[in-house]
Structure 1
């Protein structure tokens, strides 16, 4: 007779109650952590052992697996393994857990999927920062859907993405992992990605990270403390997470490594339980960032040992320790010491097995070996489309679009390096830290993109300089935290060699135009110049790239600069001397094709900056939606941005005209602001405009930003064609955290500003909100609506 918990006809709650009542303490604890295993098709699995995860005794592993396992950490994504072999090995582990343990509870597999499923053979999409530059939520939802399909194909049931940190300090290496600097844009794109990845059934869990405020660390340094109050935390850094929970039904959340005002996120009951579960209604799993619980006793010093660290985290609301069981293994000791109760453990295990039942893991625990489909023609087309829409034309003196009759010198350290098109959480780049590698033959470099269109006889290539002469694990301390930094004498691995510049100068002189490709090499923990743990103290181009660029500009050959990077950089004043300046971020495996598509005009440029390019690192943290006094008094010379949030040029021109309001006064409790205007293509080419609406609270009970994005859209127009654009902004979206730390909407005047970027807003009007101050509670209207009505040519 089948046990009740194995009966799919019963309600999930009934199955959970039955299973929980049958579990021993060891079987319960087993569901509260993961193992990071190197899986084998023959079942001889071994624990990954390194300085990050520690090590585990093989015999203890065998005994532990007999009790079951909550999650398996990156079964295919930790090393180069063919998808078929990886799936077979995962199925072998699953078979043991389902058929040879007492209760047969299946394991949940998770993988990284920030810019594509991070396994061998997965589609290499552009970076998240490139996603942000598209200003296209529907496209990013399609990306999430494609990544989700690849994840399901290899047995992955939880993806560790998206990153919903709001970029604030470009020195921070993980800037490249974000969607940008505006919380509303991040929230809209993030919710779309979550919906796509999870699907309607939420049978694959998206993981929102890093909860919360990770991007405002001291000095932009990895893991560093975050110092901010509740209002800014709630209005800026928590907003995208709340949007992804409420609008995307996100299935998982990952706390951040840092502390906020002295409280580590991994032990914050306020964040993990009060805000996330009670206030927002989150019903999924909270999983630790790798070794995040261990840091409570190793670095933060708020716990004496593993047992106390585990108790703090699980009592705060955490569900699963990743990537192993460093602290969860001591939960029985924590029970004996009275640090945690059985009721708390049961509550955690209830949430874990509830999710396993809900996603159908008990009925469908195995991946199908015969239907693994990765990197299909459809996903490659999608990757190319995203990369195209992410290209931002920052400056153009008329040289673009580039005529195909030209002879082009393609110069620079990022021009022919496949890894220069990938972010830190792409499979080939992530392997570097483990001193492993994978094929990059499928990646279309910028040089290859030019040669495919112009022909190799019209493309002259010169590397010009190195960024890193050797890609290798180079962090002196892993994961980068030391007791006393004063005793360290760190040497930069960035190249200082000028040897290749003369050949590049010669190449430029032989060509009609020089495309100088500069930027970053992404890599975690100082294996790159940007990425997790690869922070910086300057926004100058890494290494001798500035000297290379100066030498090419001095040849007199017209120069197009292409910045492929994970953060914005300055060009030392050459921004004003080059013929064109283009930002392509990390374009993924189709990046070379996509860039040339845009530069030649085969595709009209439509990318917009999702973060400002500060004039100086001395102004960091810099962001467009700052407050009036942020610039200092008098205004600091290093403050501001020549290329602000929302900026991006087209090959045509647009006029913004005839702004009108649906009504000059709106009820603040139930109303919406309606703003109508016309966009007209005044140029000679078809083009795509990205209209943006910003608001400014003229007077409020607390200090408010100068402007905040509240609506945007994409409008494609033929020459002389115009469209009427109508933005509908619910009054709830004008809320903020008020004097009593509650979200409120206040009466008064709100300035409405419309235009092509945060710094170019030719249309403005004022609307008055009427009614008493309203406290926002529970679900609230978080998203504006855009209506586009073509009016003809």
Structure 2
């Protein structure tokens, strides 16, 4: 609700506010087998009790658009589910915005769900169920025109869908002022206020899980600190999925933060040690040596859903698997897990550092909860930072 209100503000014509889009509608997070976009088997009571309340609250707060999820519920794809899109969303909740598909989800009615033999029938199913806009436009184009000509979709329904989209554009003043000034981005993005807010968000999001013998905060009397791990100095791994290319100097990693915090007389010994997933290139022995010559070791492990600009992606945004180029990405769209254990050689690295006998602080940068049972028993201080962002 707070995000809807923050995005849309009190004046949608302000030039600073945007329409909010609720996604993904609905029950996208509980597919069978944990497979991205897989089918969901839920009774109607569980659906209304556990999954729909956040959407309902956001609709009541004035959300202007909503995106359907790839999955089906009880065999009915969300992009052609009239009970969700008409009965629930509009008739019961009073939603007056527009509904948009996720990328290629209407195609999926034919290609994946095999519910419609052709894209023309898929267009009819989705449009008649209450879907107003096709993200990507592959089906609500020639196939939709063919569906209208065949009498599968009434022109009144087309007019209704178009009116819903155009109404929001009129409300935003896009017909009077269709363009924005790109120089405003240079002036307002990543300014001092935004940087300060980013840091405050990180500070309030970080969770202290364990702190034996008051290792934290780190003593100002330390002479040397080992900073170790695949997430200690990786800007994209702390930013998360769908992050555009960033200027290196705009991001503060854990290594940067420790260097900035401690005076020049403190020796900072950094070794990556291993990757998140790739097991072919490790330097655990070098990491152990760094820990041995330091007063304390800060080990930064976890996961990543960051687009590393080396991985290739499908049109839907899902990542493809390339054995020759193992990225750190183990979370996010297109990455399913059969285990929540730390991947690659991360646990091996952590055990080797703990074995040195030096005080160890484990920092987790991750997009999903991970199994840290061994760490919970053997590491004196543990912090969960999730994705701490630019000032992490």
- TM-score normalised by the chain length of structure 1: 0.45
Instruction: Give the CA RMSD over aligned residues.
Output: 1.5
Q: Which has the higher strand share?
A: 1
Residue 462 of structure 1, aligned match among 271, 277, 280 = 271
Other-structure match for 1:522: 305
Other-structure match for 1:344: 157
- String of CA shifts for 1:121-152, please: whole Å, max 9, x gaps: xxxxxxxxxxxxxxxxxxxxxxxxxxxxxxxx
Inter-partner Cα distance in structure 2 for 1:289 and 1:499:
39
The 3 A distance-change label for structure 1 pair 370 and 551 is closer
- How far is the alpha carbon of 1:356 from its aligned partner? 1.6
- How far is the alpha carbon of 1:535 from its aligned partner? 1.4
Q: Secondary structure in 2 aligned to 1:444? A: coil
Residue 20 of structure 2, aligned match among 206, 225, 230 = 206
Other-structure match for 1:507: 290
Inter-partner Cα distance in structure 2 for 1:225 and 1:260:
6
Other-structure match for 1:319: 132
The equivalences for 1:678-757 within 5 A come to none
Residue 413 of structure 1, aligned match among 230, 234, 239 = 230
Other-structure match for 1:425: 242
Other-structure match for 1:302: 115
- String of CA shifts for 1:462-499, please: whole Å, max 9, x gaps: 111122xxxxxxxxxxxxxxxxxxxxxxxxxx311364
Other-structure match for 1:362: 175
The 3 A distance-change label for structure 1 pair 296 and 410 is same
Determine if the alignment matches structure 1 residue 388 to structure 2 residue 203. Answer: yes
Other-structure match for 1:250: 63
Inter-partner Cα distance in structure 1 for 2:244 and 2:3:
20
Other-structure match for 2:313: none
Residue 218 of structure 2, aligned match among 386, 402, 419 = 402
Residue 249 of structure 2, aligned match among 421, 430, 441 = 441
- How far is the alpha carbon of 1:211 from its aligned partner? 0.2
Other-structure match for 2:364: 563
Other-structure match for 1:268: 81
- String of CA shifts for 1:587-625, please: whole Å, max 9, x gaps: 11111xxxxxxxxxxxxxxxxxxxxxxxxxxxxxxxxxx
Give the conservation status (yes or no) of the 8 Å contact 2:120–2:139. Answer: no
The equivalences for 1:135-150 within 5 A come to none
Q: Secondary structure in 2 aligned to 1:214? A: coil
Other-structure match for 1:577: 378
Aligned length in residues: 365
Query: Whose RCO is larger (CA < 8 A, sep 6+)?
Result: 2
- String of CA shifts for 1:11-65, please: whole Å, max 9, x gaps: xxxxxxxxxxxxxxxxxxxxxxxxxxxxxxxxxxxxxxxxxxxxxxxxxxxxxxx
Inter-partner Cα distance in structure 2 for 1:499 and 1:379:
37
Larger Rg: 1
Give the conservation status (yes or no) of the 8 Å contact 1:519–1:541. Answer: yes
- TM-score normalised by the chain length of structure 2: 0.90
Runs (5+) with no aligned partner, structure 2 = 307-317, 321-326
Other-structure match for 1:546: 347
- How far is the alpha carbon of 1:583 from its aligned partner? 0.2
Runs (5+) with no aligned partner, structure 1 = 1-190, 429-437, 468-493, 592-793
Other-structure match for 1:768: none
Q: Secondary structure in 2 aligned to 1:368? A: coil
The 3 A distance-change label for structure 1 pair 580 and 370 is closer
Give the conservation status (yes or no) of the 8 Å contact 1:253–1:286. Answer: yes
- How far is the alpha carbon of 1:376 from its aligned partner? 1.5
- How far is the alpha carbon of 1:255 from its aligned partner? 0.5
Give the conservation status (yes or no) of the 8 Å contact 1:307–1:331. Answer: yes
